[in-house]
Amino acid sequence: MNRAVTPQGKSLTIGLLWHSFSSDNLGVGALSQSQLAICTEAAAQAGVALRFVVFGTRGGSSYGLDDARLKIGNTIALRELVYRRSTFPSELNECDLVLDIGEGDSFADIYGFKRFLTFILTKVIVLAKRKPLILSPQTIGPFDSWYARLMATQVMKRCQKVFARDTLSFNYLRQVGLRDNVAEVVDVAFRLPYQAPAKADDGKVRIGINVSGLLFSGGYTGGNQFGLTLDYAALTRTLLTEWSKNPAHEIWLIPHVISDDLPRDDDRIASAQLKQEFPSLKLAPEFASPSEAKSFIAGMDFVTGARMHACIAAFSSGVPVVPIAYSRKFNGLFSMLGYSWVADAKAMNNADAAAIILRGFEQRAQLALEVQAGNQNAFARLDGYTATLAQIFRQVAERKGVPLQPAVLAEAGADGR
């Protein structure tokens, strides 16, 4: 990636809202790194130099921060926004437009009203500043309360563009009357760069299991917060028991959320507990970045998991995968790609979920062909998203009087393909 910086005034400044390059949730990091790669490619197409201001939460990790184009804004907190002590509004002043990715699935009220209010307020502030607001590919909803639906719809009507990353979200947008400013794309993490490892020719079948600490502990509040129809912990143990019977199986536990501050959300805790119960399991290292996690997952022969971006890392690197879906974001995304191998934890019982996962493992050669076809679809959709961003960047640059410089970013960066 070309990291030469064009001075402010000769470049566009893009606000990356609800992105993070330090999140302990590698899914959020995957979205952010992928968005940066896509924006770099779009800028090359448009002939525009870019710099970025990143707004969102922070974690204990650090990836991509050596990119000199990135400026990290202060952390956004609801209390600070409500009492007008937040620096977010003033930091927005230097932005020419804002790309809001909503941490992938947080433009919803599924995680509680406080979280929804934080996300909706930041959008309202961007619009009040008269900054063009684009909702980058993400899950839209669900909005279970009428007031959340009303607020979300009114905000989306004022966005320059709203990109849904799945068919269910896109259909919802049409249902609430949005037409001219909406488009269906796919999750940007399909473009996350990675290095495919060399696979050992030792006769082992490598099975990767991403155990969600959040589901294993019953959600943030406990007590089956997400309304699962199955016992997730019991399902996980059933799979491990079955696969452990065969000594040719090398089973890896792959944490994808590492959170010292939120132990109920930490995949390491659930994985450590299972490692004690099943000593033959192998535990993946703590990854330094989303790309490192994807590179590791790419070395598996089969993957199942309940973190969507762990599953996308497998899928987009060509690994047969059966996701365990706890929200509609899984179903909408994978069905859009013509991929039906999903264990629906909100509709299936343990026996049915285990059956589809184990059957997927046995038929992984067939799954690999379906994954290949799905990736062709996903990459084509992201080509369209990239082209749209290039058009928007060029329009904003012309309006702002920013000179077009076709040679500024000759190298668009890796796209993960």
| Per-residue confidence (pLDDT) for residue 412, from 0 to 100 | 40
- Rounded to whole angstroms, the Cα distance separating 112 from 115 reads 6
- Rounded to whole angstroms, the Cα distance separating 69 from 75 reads 19
Neighbours of 410 (CB within 10 A): 8
| Pairing outcome for strands 182-184 and 161-164 | parallel
| Confidence category of residue 111, pLDDT binned at 50, 70, 90 | confident
H-assigned helices in 13-161 = 26-46, 78-82, 88-92, 113-128, 146-157
Neighbours of 399 (CB within 10 A): 10
Distance of CA 317 to the CA centre of its chain: 15
**Does the CA dihedral 184-119-52-397 come out positive or negative?**
positive
| Per-residue confidence (pLDDT) for residue 116, from 0 to 100 | 94
What pLDDT, in 10s, does the model give residues 247-306?
A: 999 999 999 988 777 778 889 999 999 999 999 999 999 998 999 999 999 999 999 999
Q: What is the mean pLDDT of residues 228-234?
A: 96
Amino acid at 374: G
List the one residue out of 251, 263, 284, 253 whose CA is nearest residue 218.
Answer: 263
Q: Domain coordinates of the chain in residue numbers?
A: 12-186+378-400, 205-362
* Model pTM score: 0.90
DSSP 108: S
What pLDDT, in 10s, does the model give residues 353-375?
A: 999 999 999 999 999 999 999 99
| Per-residue confidence (pLDDT) for residue 2, from 0 to 100 | 35
| Per-residue confidence (pLDDT) for residue 66, from 0 to 100 | 76
| Confidence category of residue 406, pLDDT binned at 50, 70, 90 | low
Neighbours of 371 (CB within 10 A): 21
What pLDDT, in 10s, does the model give residues 127-153?
A: 999 999 999 999 998 898 999 999 999
| Per-residue confidence (pLDDT) for residue 226, from 0 to 100 | 85
Give the containing element (helix H, strand E) for 378.
helix 364-400
Retrieve residue 316's tokens. Answer: 């987009």
Helix, strand, coil percent values for the chain (each to nearest 5): 45, 15, 45
Give the mean pLDDT of the chain: 92
Amino acid at 170: F
Q: What is the DSSP string of 253-313?
A: E---B--SS-GGG-HHHHHHHHHHHSTT-EEPPPPSSHHHHHHHHTT-SEEEESSHHHHHH
Please, what is the Cα angle at 319 between 315 and 321, to 5 degrees?
65
Q: What is the mean pLDDT of residues 170-196?
A: 95
pLDDT at 350 over 70: yes
| Per-residue confidence (pLDDT) for residue 244, from 0 to 100 | 97
- Rounded to whole angstroms, the Cα distance separating 23 from 289 reads 10
- Rounded to whole angstroms, the Cα distance separating 339 from 87 reads 44
pLDDT at 410 over 80: no
| Confidence category of residue 60, pLDDT binned at 50, 70, 90 | confident
List the one residue out of 336, 344, 254, 337 whose CA is nearest residue 300.
Answer: 254
DSSP 230: S
Topology of domain 12-186+378-400 in CATH is: Rossmann fold (3.40.50)
Q: Would you say 170 and 270 are in contact if contact means Cβ atoms under 8 Å apart?
A: no
| Confidence category of residue 9, pLDDT binned at 50, 70, 90 | low
| Per-residue confidence (pLDDT) for residue 1, from 0 to 100 | 35
Hey, do 12-186+378-400 and 205-362 end up sharing a CATH topology, with the first three levels equal? yes
CATH superfamily of 205-362: Glycogen Phosphorylase B; (3.40.50.2000)
| Per-residue confidence (pLDDT) for residue 57, from 0 to 100 | 86
- Rounded to whole angstroms, the Cα distance separating 10 from 184 reads 32
- Rounded to whole angstroms, the Cα distance separating 20 from 30 reads 9
Distance of CA 178 to the CA centre of its chain: 24
